Structure formats: C-alpha cells, structure tokens
Structure 1
C-alpha cells in the first residue's frame, strides 16, 4: 500500500532523528574515551619508529634476533623523548608522528620525558639540559601534546629523578624543576605521572613526601598538577610488590594514582638493576588496575640496554642478545 506524502515525510524525519541519536552516542563515547584517565584496557601506541622496529628491519632472516625484535616491535610501549634524540626543533614533529600512529591504531600516545639537568646523577644515563633549555624543551613538548589531545596522552616525567634526589642531595632543586615541567606539560587531556621509585628503594613515606611536594608546587598559581606517580620504571620488581607499594605510597597522598611498569618484570628481580641476566618480559600493558593503580604499561622498552654493565652497550642502545633472552618464554603464535 502506498504511503501518503505526510507519512513518508514523518518517517524520514524519524529516521534522521535515529541517525542523529546514534551519531551523538558515538561522539559521547569517543569523548569519554579520550578524556578519561588510563585504566584497564588502555592501549598505547606501538611506534614504527621504535628501536625494536628498526632492529626487525635489519636482523638476519630466520634468526632468533629477528623473532625477538619483531615481537617487541608489536608491543604497545612508551616512547622516550630525550634532548639528545629529540631536540627542541624536532620534538614537536616526533610527537605529531606518534599521534598519527596512535590514531591509526586507536591507541594513546605515551611518552617518557627524560632530559632534566643533571639527569641520572651522573650515572649510565647522564646528560640532560641546562635549566633554561629544559624549560623551553618541556614547553615545546607540552604544546605538541596539546595538539595531540584527541589521543589522551600519558606522560611519564623523568624516571628516577625523585627517588634519586636524596642520594644526589638535590631534593629542593628537583622539586622545583619537576613542578615547572608539570606546569608546562599540563592540559585537560594529558595525564602526568612523576617518578615513584619502586618497592625496594625509598620507604613509602619518604617517596610520598617527595611526590607531594612536586604536586603542591605544580598547582601553585593555578597550575594543573599531576595524576599520580609511576613505579618500577626500568626495573624488575614483581607486580604484586609494586601494587602493594603503590597503595602504601598513595595512602599518604591526597587522591593521587599510580601506574606500574611491567615491561621486564616477568621473572621478578635478582637484586640487580643494570642489565641483570635471566629476566623476562612482564604482563602486557593495560591488564590490571584498581582504585589506586590506574593500570600497568610497558615503559622501559625491552631490548634497550640499561648501560655498560653485565656486557651491555651504552644506555638506550638496542641489544639483540638481551631482546632474545627477555622473550624466551613468549609462546609461539
């Protein structure tokens, strides 16, 4: 039976309303996904610019080195920004490329900012910028991340900086530097986590006091503050120990949360921190979380050396033998 013109118009209007409602629901869901903090299920970008990806392009065909590099290149892992590799004139382009990759993968940008003055207290990863250059560099990173706000960026700010401060005797200086960096990086959709050491380093009350100082100073004059702290970066402590430690630290803070690095803690710790033998990759990122621990991520890229120790190359360089050892227990697909 033919529809009257009025009925056809009404049906068309109703159909448009349904389409509009669906579009609105999709927009609202997408907005919620890009504004919410990290949590279980969080996926960060697996960048084609990683050292694992580069190693996979050059490893001998059929070799164990190739299999390890290919596997690690596919794993969502934070990208480390250093002034040596990503100076101020190119760091915005690096972040723009990461954001494009993240969008293509329906993932988040996750970066480690690692370049503060006197970095690593003169250790294997020594370096960094002078104070004025560091301020300029972190402002450039903050601007670039704001352009990538739709990827809800996660920032790990200066691993080891706070936990090392008592040993280095520069607590006040570190707090000031980190608070300034937080203010440069802060944005509505950027989630910042400062250094929280690990469960076998500073006592929870000492670590919490340092984190609280940075958070309070970063909020001065209307600054944005931090989401929380990150533990176990580049270390090997067991996940259960880190979860307990994160809860202990957070209980002394006001509403701050934690992220745990599980990139290389699959076999736990043997007490060494620099290229210890016998380690394995840990739980994939985004596989845990509770009311304090937002989630876990791979932050230290497995296969990159901790420094010239236990036979390793300089810090940050790709080490094929370590990549093979770390992935020995990964099941074949």
Structure 2
C-alpha cells in the first residue's frame, strides 16, 4: 500500500526532486520524428525510364548500362510556368513509387550560359513564378535539387543577369520550404577560387541549402573536386557558415581529358556510379549531365542536349 508523502519541510523538496527526474527522463527519450532517419541518406537515386539513354536502349542494348544509371531530371525553360509543377511531380512520384530519391537539375535563371551553347531561360519575374510552381511539384517527395549549374561561376560575366544571387536566394528558400535538399552549384575546381565561391554561395542563400555541387557537366577528376569542395567548406566555415555538404558530378570524369576542353572532349569516359557517399563533407556522387547528350556542336557533336549515339559509345569506351 502506497503511503502519502510525509508532512513537513522535507516533503516538498522530495516531490520536486521526483518531478525533475521525470522531466529529465522524458526529455532524454527521442521523439519519433527525431529518431527517424531521412530516407535520402540511404536510398539509391532514381533511374528514370523516360531518360534519353533509356529510350535509346530500347533500340540498342549497348546503352542499357546508361539507362540503368540514375541521372538528374532537368527542369529548364522547356517547361513553362503552367506545366512545370505537373512535370516534376510526375517524375518525382515515379521515384517515390520505386522508393528512390528523385534528383532534379534546376536550370532556367536569367542569362543562363551567357548566350553560349545552353542559352535560354526566363526573365526574373517569370523565374520566380516558375520556381514557386516547381517547388510545389516537389513538395513532400524528399527530392534533391542541383540549383542552376554554372550560375555562380559565371556571375558578372555577361549582361542581363540582374540580381542573380537574389534569385538564387529566392529559389533556395522556396525549395527548402518544400522539403527539398538544395545544392547550389559552385562550378568546378579550375574555375573560381574557394574564398570567392564561398562569398557567392553565402550571398545566394547557402545557409538555407543542404550545400553545394561541383563539376556539373564537366570533366575534372573526383580527387580534385573533393579537394575543392573541402576548401569551399573551409572558407564557408571561416565566413560563419557551418555544416554544409557537397556533391560531385562524376558522369563523365572517368578519364583525363585535354585541359580546358569542356565541349564533348575526346577521350572522356563515364566516372563513378552515382550514390550517397557520406564521407566527411562529401554527401554524394551524382550524374547530372546525361552521358550521351551533346554539349553542343563541337568535336563532332550535335546541338546541346541532343542524343548523340557515337558520343555515348565513346564515353563507354566502345
């Protein structure tokens, strides 16, 4: 039989002690939400059956390896404001159904590629509306987004860029609110000094992003890119931004290529398979640029983005 607490001066302190002990014990038990790991940390990336390589593999089995390899879905100005939400939602839901992580390359910022092979994009007001719809399409899908390849590396290199860092801040915030892990693109190891890139990333809302990406559509070695990524992280930390991660594009960096040749370089090969790595500051290897799609009319290739069978076979070493 339980006894009532003793009366007198010692009863209150004892009750308070028991209460504090209970509160501490409850606080030490993780909530279901905090104990649950984010699926992006362990899931494989999604290999889309609608990719250009998958379509080519239906006609030629030599491309089946590329077809089975996860590659990013490119959301560009080919998807107008009225269609972008439905398009990215359809892609992301295909990934979710397969219990895979959808990866989206967002590529429509004003003055994209400064009028070169991948020129195009929206004006600033349209871009904001477009990003809002894109984020709505990805909401709740646990997606990853590589945000605007080359945009910061090319900052100030041509006219009509407007408030580029402001637009990147806007896009990063919108995507984060939709539950997307954002990696703002940081060019590559031979383009922009780490301290300069860290300043640009900070101005572009890196505090709201998971981190940044390197080597997108380029051919630099993984070792060089990891070293560069770590240097940028160190510079961000020195500037008061801590805990950021990075991903490295490995789609076409499997062999040394001619220095400075970034348009369908002869001798390029596919690199490491895309996957979560989680080693130090490095989150993952990703395939963003699709092997087999041309960089532009150079070294025998067709227009940028066009499927190029000969180029795909060369990347596969065939």
Q: TM-score range by the shorter chain?
A: 0.7 to 0.9
Q: Please point out which of 236, 239, 258 is paired with 2:246.
A: 258
Q: Cα 1:171–1:92, aligned 2, differ >3 Å: closer, same or farther?
A: closer
Measured in 2, the distance between the counterparts of 1:134 and 1:68 equals 39
**Which residue in 1 is equivalent to 2:186?**
196
What's the counterpart of residue 111 of structure 1? 104
Determine which of 196, 208, 218 is the counterpart of 1:206: 196
The answer on whether the counterparts of 1:88 and 1:137 sit within 8 Å (CA) in structure 2 is yes
Quote the residue 2:304 is aligned against. Answer: 315
What's 1:55 paired with?
A: 56
Aligned with residue 280 of structure 2, among 284, 291, 294: 291
Does structure 1 conserve the Cα–Cα contact (< 8 Å) formed by 2:44 and 2:276? no
- The 3 A distance-change label for structure 1 pair 29 and 78 is farther
Distance 1:328 1:105, change over 3 A: farther
Aligned length: 281
Q: Which has the higher contact order (CA 8 A, sep 6+)?
A: 1
Note if contact 2:276-2:283 (Cα within 8 Å) is conserved in structure 1. Answer: no
1:244 is displaced (CA, Å) by 0.4
Moved over 3 A (4+): 27-31, 169-172
Give the superposition deviation at 1:183: 2.2
Q: Deviation at 1:168?
A: 2.8
TM-score, length basis structure 1: 0.79
Gaps of 5+ in 1: 1-26, 60-65, 220-224
CA gap of 1:292–1:172, structure 2 versus 1, over 3 A, is farther
Mapped partners of 1:154, 1:73: distance in 2: 20
Q: Distance in 1 between matches of 2:287 and 2:120?
A: 23
Compare the two structures and name the one with the higher helix fraction: 1
Question: What's the TM-score once normalised by structure 2's chain length?
Answer: 0.83
Shift of the alpha carbon at 1:81?
0.7
